[in-house]
């Protein structure tokens, strides 16, 4: 089964439709590459996908191993190169809320850096994870 259908809307904008759910995402070219920057750029989505994947995998593994994660939040920053134009690095500030042992903190970090998106990205993209644990 196909995952998505993407339409070009003109003016450097696309609409991606998730075929199973019908949910749509709009993307725009970034301002520094002739776009309006009115939505996520494709490379913004790539960087955001890394953080989303980390959070999802932490939640799945924590549930499986009985680690009580109360909440999570990530801030994402990507850096581009110009020649060739590509993602140079993705920095993620991930806060995981809960009361964790030293071993649980180590496991959570391991889950994050080994998520499927992290393992799918080129080794030429520097992935930096700044992980913070907070009590609620």
Q: What is the pLDDT of residue 56?
A: 98
Q: What is the pLDDT of residue 136?
A: 79
CA distances from 72 to 12, 68, 116, 126, 127 (A): 33, 12, 18, 22, 19
pTM: 0.94
Kindly list the structural domains of the chain, giving each domain's residue range(s) and its CATH number in brackets, ordered by start: 4-33 (no CATH), 42-134 (3.30.300.20)
Start-to-end Cα distance in the chain: 41
Per the DSSP assignment, residues forming a β-bridge with 13 are 10, 28
Give the pLDDT band of residue 101 (cuts 50, 70, 90).
very high
What are the tens digits of pLDDT across the range 52-72? 999 999 999 999 999 999 999
């Amino acid at each position: 089964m196909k995952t998505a259908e993407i339409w070009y809307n003109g003016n450097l904008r696309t609409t991606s439709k998730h075929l199973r759910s019908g949910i749509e995402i709009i993307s725009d070219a970034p301002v520094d590459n002739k776009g309006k920057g009115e939505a996520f750029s494709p490379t913004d989505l790539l960087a955001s996908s890394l953080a989303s994947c980390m959070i999802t995998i932490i939640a799945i593994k924590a549930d499986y191993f009985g680690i009580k994660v109360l909440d999570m939040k990530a801030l994402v920053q990507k850096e581009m190169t110009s020649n060739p134009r590509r993602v140079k690095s993705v920095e993620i500030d991930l806060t995981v809320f809960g009361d964790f042992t030293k071993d649980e903190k180590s496991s959570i970090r391991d889950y994050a850096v080994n998520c499927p998106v992290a393992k799918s990205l080129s080794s030429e993209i520097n992935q930096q994870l700044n992980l913070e644990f907070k009590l609620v």
